Amino acid sequence: TQLLEQSPQFLSIQEGENLTVYCNSSSVFSSLQWYRQEPGEGPVLLVTVVTGGEVKKLKRLTFQFGDARKDSSLHITAAQPGDTGLYLCAGESPKDSNYQLIWGAGTKLIIKP
């Protein structure tokens, strides 16, 4: 069974600090997606990484896909209260049909003003 483990499960930091959250697996993924989910809403796609070693930036957010395509990280610079939410990673298996994503349990992030 393929699993995606996210760490930490919970993170509470002050506005202005930097942070990194991780998404790890022992399995290889064709691609990996990061989502942010706010209370009472569905997840919203932030980025998709496809190539091993790929780095994508979205304003203060930097996403990296591991060289072996088994892990990914999300780094936030100078976190702001608006970054608060549940960050989910989801991977597309190269073995299975290409419509089903494997989801992590998420990192709940709270940025205190």
Partner 1 sequence: GAGVSQTPSNKVTEKGKYVELRCDPISGHTALYWYRQSLGQGPEFLIYFQGTGAADDSGLPNDRFFAVRPEGSVSTLKIQRTERGDSAVYLCASSPIAGGTDTQYFGPGTRLTVL
State the residues that interact with partner 1 by CB under 8 A. 4, 9, 30-31, 33, 40-45, 48, 50, 88, 90, 92-93, 97-101, 103-106, 108
Q: Which residue has the tokens 């298996």?
A: 93
Return the number of the residue (13 or 46) whose C-beta is nearest partner 1.
46
Q: Nearer to partner 1 by C-beta: 45 or 55?
A: 45
Least separation in angstroms between residue 45's CB and partner 1 is 5
Instruction: Tell me how far, at minimum, the Cβ of 67 lies from partner 1, in Å.
Output: 19
Instruction: Rank residues 18 and 30 by Cβ distance to partner 1 and give the closer one.
Output: 30
How far is the C-alpha of 62 from the C-alpha of 20, rounded, in Å? 9
Q: Quick one: 39 or 82, whose CB is closer to partner 1?
A: 39
- Least Å distance, CB 16 to partner 1, is 27
In the complex, what is the shortest distance from the CB of residue 49 to partner 1, in angstroms, rounded to a whole number?
10
Is 50 exposed, middle or buried, given 0-12, 13-18 or 19+ CB atoms closer than 10 A? Answer: middle
